[in-house]
Amino acid sequence: MTAAFQTLLARPWIWSFVGAKKANVKPEHNEDYGDAWTFVCIDPDSKLVPSWWVGQRTAEDAWAVLTDLRSRVTDRIQLSTDGHKMYLTATAEVFSDDELDFAQVVKKFTSQPKPENVKYSPEPVKYVTIKKVTGSPDPAHISTSLVERQNLTIRMSMRRFTRLTNAFSKKLENLTAAVSLHFMYYNFARPHMTLTKRAGGIKTTPAMAAGVADHVWTLTEIAALLESN
């Protein structure tokens, strides 16, 4: 799947875990146990998610998802990420200077004590700094808001990402398969409300908007991909 994107947003991770949270991993557990992080890249125009990756918060994982992204784009792109340093190294290794306009959205959070009954409320944002890294990114398109909103879609669509439940994956392989199935369905089989409205009421998926599909896929078509392999 390749497409001509102009702007792409990358979010370094959304948290989940395999078998047990990192703090509860025991010596007898296998190496897959513990926290897992899903990287997501999304095109704000077509809403397509061309690349994702389940791994850890390392430069190697950032390199892996960006390498996959590079293989799926045909033109120069603008990329926005948060301020994690791993992206500085990974983008320099994966993209040449004439392939990428890159900026980071660096958020400074205010540290405040939380009440005992509040566990997952995010810290207030104190200020946001835009850091241009490579090329000439258009300031009007430097943002990570849409990909951060994608985190809600992930949590609402995949039980494995729901906090405070026992629906977590028991194997890393299972988590990776679930994420892949989710994004296949999201890209090809789930009409997007904004895209459908833009198309005059014709049900439109992100893949259709990106020009890599000509119809809304059915679950039967998705399942047939497994049979063909």
Residue 116, pLDDT score: 58
Nearest to 100 by CA among 2, 6, 1, 4: 6
Residue 126, CB-side half-sphere exposure with 13 Å CA sphere: 6
Q: What is the pTM of this model?
A: 0.85
pLDDT at 80 (0 to 100): 93
Domain ranges for the chain: 7-190
Q: Find where tokens 């047990």 sit.
A: 20
What pLDDT sits at residue 126?
76
Determine the pLDDT at residue 171: 92
Dihedral (C-alpha) 209, 213, 218, 221: value to the nearest 10 degrees? -160
Distances 115 to 112, 118, 120 between C-alpha atoms, Å: 10, 5, 11
In order along its 229 residues, the chain shows pLDDT tens digits of 555 556 666 655 788 999 888 888 998 888 889 999 999 999 999 999 999 999 998 999 999 999 999 999 888 999 999 988 999 999 999 999 899 999 999 888 777 666 655 555 667 777 789 999 999 999 999 998 888 888 889 989 998 888 777 888 989 999 999 999 999 999 999 999 999 999 999 999 999 999 999 999 999 999 999 876 6
The H or E element containing residue 93 is helix 86-94
CATH dotted code for 7-190 = 3.30.420.10
What's the first-to-final CA gap in the chain, in angstroms?
17
pLDDT number for residue 123: 73
